[in-house]
A and B are shown apart, each in its own frame.
Chain A
């Protein structure tokens, strides 16, 4: 566990500089053995030192070396970071030299793992480190930073402390049944306490939904018949934000066709059967598949053709879309109106008319999206909440159980049984920030972590 590990901490090949990070007991002595400049074993902690990385007499690179001594470092061990001149070849050479001198190449997530295992950060913070590195927008970065700070963790601890109060109150009643020195706890007395707990969890959950949006973006699909203008819309939206047009599979579990940023919030466009293909060869994706896509979406952009009558399949889909967050787009308003708007039985406020060819209505669509997700509000807040799916799903489960407790209380289930329920939730909440030991959790967590972080 305590050997010295190293890895390239920056993305390979990109950027003007690259950082090689080393952590462990021998971090300083190993780097010192390949460094020409000051004697690193004698420099103060948390200093940056200019010099060269050398292989015997050969100079590999001109570098800046940060020396950070235990325990005030990320891993709590001695940490050295070598800033090299980017480029794959010199950076790899530095790494090779380090390995030669006795470092071991870090396993995925090992730096974070050490930080966690050395008690420097808790589980929630460990997850946040990952998020920080993945952060694409300023909001994501802020939120991850808050988690690394332990702010989110203290949110959970606050909840757990409230529970401990209730638990100990009940326990005193059980253990000292004959004493009226202690306040007698009744179901009626517990109900408001439990309600308060419920409200707190609900609040965290609500804000966490926003957190999820910040972190994971809004999964958005465009549903519509062939030729309605889906790909044109996508291209129109993407055009304005070329910087983050990507075409990668697996950013999330879905195939993402592209990412659009609106006020710092990412819209992940779901690939609906190749909507970016030319429209000539597109085929109808069918009602069933559309339904499935809608189900997976956080936002459905439902496209209708102003120039066409409403078809039966679209009517059917329109009926279903009401359960989701959606906006109905009526495209091609530059063409003759053949669509009977009376047939669209939905909230008129959710309809945007546009003509993509004439570049009309795109801004209005963006406004609607901002309105729909309260994006303005998300932006202005200090983002401290649970943002990963695991934590949120645990919290949701706890909320459901709290609601069950409320019901048990009104059904006169004895308080000692209620205590068991609360204790249970207390333990489960602890798994969010690692206050409760759970074996499987660790393994799963560290599988996610990438090299060198």
Chain B
């Protein structure tokens, strides 16, 4: 018998299966199509604002997305490099052939993992507890825990113009009944929608009419363990073009032919606010003369170019007109048309923070089935579900990352606390303590947890400890190192238009100034530390005030996080709570006051009443439990 069965081989499924098998649990990964392991059916990039930080966090915890991306990407860059350290994030152009191949290779090295093709249509359920899965042909496979990572494959419908076809992104058969079964077991199911743009033959695009967007000329990696696996000069560029007035005219005139604008009258799914279709953009932003489109290579091994920003559900003939109206695309050949896809997801307030469902014991869910969008969002949930499923088998407490510890913590807490309206995408602005949740310090935040759960080895943790020690040394060094303001020093400052210090200052003081960096000070004094160390010290000294403030705020939240709400609380007994708040509290059943505050629709006055009630009913016993 298997200990864990992972259903679905996408980004969530791969991480979940990897974590559980790596931790020594006998695992079965079951997927509808072996060729689609770690498939990237939509955009070809990994990372991006906030998402790039998640990939770093996955790596820090011992997951694999970062390493596979490092080994296979076409180009990589640091976003927001002109802004503060908290919002900088890596973004790589993935390779849609190499990435899945590398992933499959990695999974195949795992001793405890088996991979099997099959379509899951039901679960074995006994007394509200999951005991395994049932395949399409009726075959039953037993396990102690099941992790569902079915992506968009629950009752998937592809929508193009006025046609609706029940199939997955590559025309495969979706799961027909699993979501109905889940509903029968007591889950609330929600219909969501997302879309994808056209793929264009590279050889038919006139790139001279577009702008080149190269990768960074600095070596970068997602992983804390890998040296760069690429050469800067070998990176493949992206290109940039814009929609034209003609494009907008075509869209406006054909709007009623778009699935989403009336061609289909049975659309239930709600699309992602953060990733609108080109129809949405043209309709909603009438004043915009043009919209930006990225032309992204999908692979070294074939010629498809992804037209980022042009996602649509127009009929094919209109898509032809639209594409040909773009500069450089006059003679473009469309290899694959854009489409929208509708699918079922479970409403995520039905999950615990461990990603185990509240409805069925020993059932975990991760990825798009939980209402998120994006490979990174899926992967990190998969990793956490894999870790927590294993911990449950080992009879250990689940690993729950807090909002001040990781974007992963923010994401999961948002899902289970706020639920979703449209497919959830991580954004920097969702993190209250983003200054603590940086790309550069993911290892310092999370490696310890990876080590505790057994996905990070001794060598990796020792490496981190040495790094942390060196950071301390370097901070001390910067405190003692003084810069005398000689005539020459004065000149160097003036050259850069920096204000010249009045007196001798320590490096610590100098680095506290917004404009002064180690790179500038290096000309006066050799700095005996490597780049990664200097980076940490520089960030800390420059933003010390902000960082300390963030820590303080986080502490305030943690204090409320300690105020537990008994799980047997009867919200109907608290008479004065507003009815919307009552309904939300009953639905989410927050475990702490801090979580209750974050529920939308629960106002400060409701929290006051709840606090008063808790104090009255449970005294101080419920505090600081």
A181 within 8 Å of B (CB atoms): yes
Whether A434 lies near B612 (C-beta < 8 A) is no
* Cβ–Cβ < 8 Å partners of A180 in chain B: 292
| Residue interface mask B546-564, A partner, CB < 8 A = 1 | 1001100100000010000
* Cβ–Cβ < 8 Å partners of B578 in chain A: 119
CA distance A178 to B435 in the complex (A): 21
Within 8 A of B (CB), among A96-120: 114, 116-119
* Option from A118, A416, A434 in Cβ contact (under 8 Å) with B86: A416
* Option from A2, A181, A415 in Cβ contact (under 8 Å) with B291: A181
Which of B125-133, B481-489, B518-526, B597-605 binds A?
A: B597-605
* Cβ–Cβ < 8 Å partners of B434 in chain A: 416, 420
A414 within 8 Å of B (CB atoms): yes
Within 8 A of A (CB), among B269-292: 274, 285, 288, 291-292
Whether B86 lies near A117 (C-beta < 8 A) is no
A239 within 8 Å of B (CB atoms): no
* Cβ–Cβ < 8 Å partners of B86 in chain A: 416-417
CA distance A191 to B601 in the complex (A): 34
CA distance A412 to B542 in the complex (A): 12
Whether B80 lies near A1 (C-beta < 8 A) is no
Closest-by-CB residue of B relative to A76 is B576
* Cβ–Cβ < 8 Å partners of B87 in chain A: 174, 177, 414, 416
A412-B514, A416-B87 known; A175 vs B604 contact (CB < 8 Å):
no
A177-B80, A178-B79, A424-B549 known; A117 vs B605 contact (CB < 8 Å):
yes
A411 within 8 Å of B (CB atoms): yes
CA distance A119 to B513 in the complex (A): 47
Whether A2 lies near B576 (C-beta < 8 A) is yes
B83 within 8 Å of A (CB atoms): yes
A411-B514, A439-B611 known; A171 vs B604 contact (CB < 8 Å):
no
A174-B429, A420-B435 known; A1 vs B608 contact (CB < 8 Å):
no
Within 8 A of A (CB), among B383-440: 427-429, 434-435
Closest-by-CB residue of A relative to B581 is A119
| Residue interface mask B578-620, A partner, CB < 8 A = 1 | 1000000000000000000100000111011101110010000
Q: From residue A89, how far is it (CB to closest CB) to chain B in Å?
A: 35
A2-B575, A181-B288, A420-B546 known; A434 vs B605 contact (CB < 8 Å):
yes
A442 within 8 Å of B (CB atoms): yes
Whether A119 lies near B603 (C-beta < 8 A) is yes
CA distance A417 to B605 in the complex (A): 31
A55 within 8 Å of B (CB atoms): no
CA distance A175 to B574 in the complex (A): 40
Within 8 A of B (CB), among A401-431: 411-417, 420, 424
Whether A417 lies near B79 (C-beta < 8 A) is no
Whether B80 lies near A174 (C-beta < 8 A) is yes
A2-B575, A412-B514, A420-B546 known; A174 vs B428 contact (CB < 8 Å):
yes
B294 within 8 Å of A (CB atoms): yes
Q: From residue B293, how far is it (CB to closest CB) to chain A in Å?
A: 10
B50 within 8 Å of A (CB atoms): yes
CA distance A154 to B321 in the complex (A): 51
* A contacts with B: majority SS: loop
CA distance A114 to B608 in the complex (A): 11
Q: From residue B610, how far is it (CB to closest CB) to chain A in Å?
A: 10
Instruction: Tell which of B435, B549, B605, B616 has the most Cβ of chain A within 10 Å.
Output: B605
CA distance A405 to B408 in the complex (A): 30
B506 within 8 Å of A (CB atoms): no
B49 within 8 Å of A (CB atoms): yes
* Cβ–Cβ < 8 Å partners of B228 in chain A: none
* Cβ–Cβ < 8 Å partners of B80 in chain A: 174, 177, 416
Closest-by-CB residue of A relative to B91 is A178
Whether B84 lies near A417 (C-beta < 8 A) is yes
CA distance A434 to B609 in the complex (A): 13
A171-B427, A177-B49, A420-B546 known; A442 vs B514 contact (CB < 8 Å):
no
* Cβ–Cβ < 8 Å partners of A434 in chain B: 604-605
Whether A416 lies near B50 (C-beta < 8 A) is no
Whether B574 lies near A413 (C-beta < 8 A) is no
CA distance A434 to B429 in the complex (A): 23
CA distance A415 to B87 in the complex (A): 10
Whether B514 lies near A175 (C-beta < 8 A) is no
A435 within 8 Å of B (CB atoms): yes
* Cβ–Cβ < 8 Å partners of B291 in chain A: 181
Q: From residue A26, how far is it (CB to closest CB) to chain B in Å?
A: 13
Closest-by-CB residue of B relative to A3 is B575
Whether B79 lies near A171 (C-beta < 8 A) is no
Closest-by-CB residue of B relative to A114 is B576
A171-B428, A175-B429, A435-B604 known; A416 vs B83 contact (CB < 8 Å):
yes
| Residue interface mask B174-197, A partner, CB < 8 A = 1 | 000000000000000000000000
A50 within 8 Å of B (CB atoms): no
Q: From residue B91, how far is it (CB to closest CB) to chain A in Å?
A: 8
Whether A171 lies near B292 (C-beta < 8 A) is no
A1-B612, A180-B292 known; A174 vs B515 contact (CB < 8 Å):
no
Q: From residue B42, how far is it (CB to closest CB) to chain A in Å?
A: 17
B207 within 8 Å of A (CB atoms): no
Whether A117 lies near B429 (C-beta < 8 A) is no
Whether A1 lies near B292 (C-beta < 8 A) is no
Whether B607 lies near A175 (C-beta < 8 A) is no
Within 8 A of B (CB), among A161-200: 171, 174-181
Whether A1 lies near B574 (C-beta < 8 A) is yes
CA distance A446 to B613 in the complex (A): 16
Whether A437 lies near B292 (C-beta < 8 A) is no
* Cβ–Cβ < 8 Å partners of A114 in chain B: 576
Q: From residue B47, how far is it (CB to closest CB) to chain A in Å?
A: 12
Closest-by-CB residue of A relative to B80 is A177
CA distance A178 to B428 in the complex (A): 14
A118-B576, A174-B87, A181-B291 known; A413 vs B50 contact (CB < 8 Å):
no
CA distance A116 to B603 in the complex (A): 12
Instruction: Tell which of A116, A181, A412 has the most Cβ of chain B within 10 Å.
Output: A181
Whether B607 lies near A437 (C-beta < 8 A) is yes
* Option from B49, B604, B607 in Cβ contact (under 8 Å) with A176: B49
Closest-by-CB residue of B relative to A120 is B605
* Cβ–Cβ < 8 Å partners of A176 in chain B: 49
CA distance A116 to B609 in the complex (A): 10
Whether A413 lies near B604 (C-beta < 8 A) is no
* Cβ–Cβ < 8 Å partners of B50 in chain A: 175
CA distance A420 to B50 in the complex (A): 16
CA distance A436 to B553 in the complex (A): 14
Instruction: Tell which of B294, B576, B604 has the most Cβ of chain A within 10 Å.
Output: B604
B2 within 8 Å of A (CB atoms): no
B543 within 8 Å of A (CB atoms): yes
* Cβ–Cβ < 8 Å partners of B607 in chain A: 437
* Cβ–Cβ < 8 Å partners of B616 in chain A: 1
CA distance A171 to B50 in the complex (A): 12
* Cβ–Cβ < 8 Å partners of B597 in chain A: 437
Whether B49 lies near A1 (C-beta < 8 A) is no
CA distance A414 to B604 in the complex (A): 32
Instruction: Tell which of B84, B435, B513, B515 has the most Cβ of chain A within 10 Å.
Output: B84
Whether A1 lies near B604 (C-beta < 8 A) is no
| Residue interface mask B325-347, A partner, CB < 8 A = 1 | 00000000000000000000000
What are some 29 contacts across the A-B interface (CB < 8 A)?
A1-B574, A1-B613, A2-B575, A2-B576, A116-B608, A117-B609, A117-B612, A118-B576, A174-B428, A175-B49, A178-B79, A178-B294, A179-B292, A181-B288, A181-B291, A411-B513, A414-B84, A414-B87, A415-B83, A416-B86, A416-B87, A417-B84, A420-B550, A424-B549, A424-B553, A435-B604, A437-B608, A439-B611, A442-B608
Chain A positions within 8 Å of B, measured between CB atoms, are 1-2, 114, 116-119, 122, 171, 174-181, 411-417, 420, 424, 434-437, 439, 442
Given contacts A175-B427, A439-B560, 9 further A-B contacts (CB under 8 A): A117-B612, A119-B603, A119-B605, A122-B605, A174-B80, A414-B82, A414-B83, A417-B84, A417-B435
Give the top 10 A-B pairs by smallest Cβ distance, nearest first.
A414-B84, A437-B604, A171-B429, A2-B575, A416-B87, A414-B83, A416-B84, A177-B79, A174-B87, A175-B427
